[in-house]
């Protein structure tokens, strides 16, 4: 149920700056945010410069989640 699920996912991809992730995903029609998300101490704690963040809600479809996954694979391919 909703009590056990979160509506957002903050993430990084090894070797890809989060701002580059956001730019590549934008080109694939997927909107995410990149930066500190008002949580710079957490980023500092884990030694990451920033993160990308995707938000989900009831209106998102499984196809949109698949589009996010496909776009992330594309970002990894670009920065191999």
Active centre residues (catalytic): 38
Q: Is the dihedral of CA 46, 50, 55, 61 positive or negative?
A: negative
Reading the block at residue 69, the tokens are: 């996954």
Reading the block at residue 23, the tokens are: 């730019």
């Amino acid at each position: 149920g909703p009590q056990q699920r979160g509506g957002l996912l903050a993430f990084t991809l090894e070797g890809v700056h989060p701002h580059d992730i956001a730019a590549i995903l934008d080109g694939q029609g997927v909107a995410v945010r990149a930066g500190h998300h008002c949580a710079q101490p957490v980023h500092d704690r884990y030694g990451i410069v920033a993160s990308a963040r995707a938000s989900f809600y009831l209106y998102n479809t499984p196809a949109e989640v698949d589009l996010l996954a496909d776009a992330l694979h594309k970002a990894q391919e670009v920065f191999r």
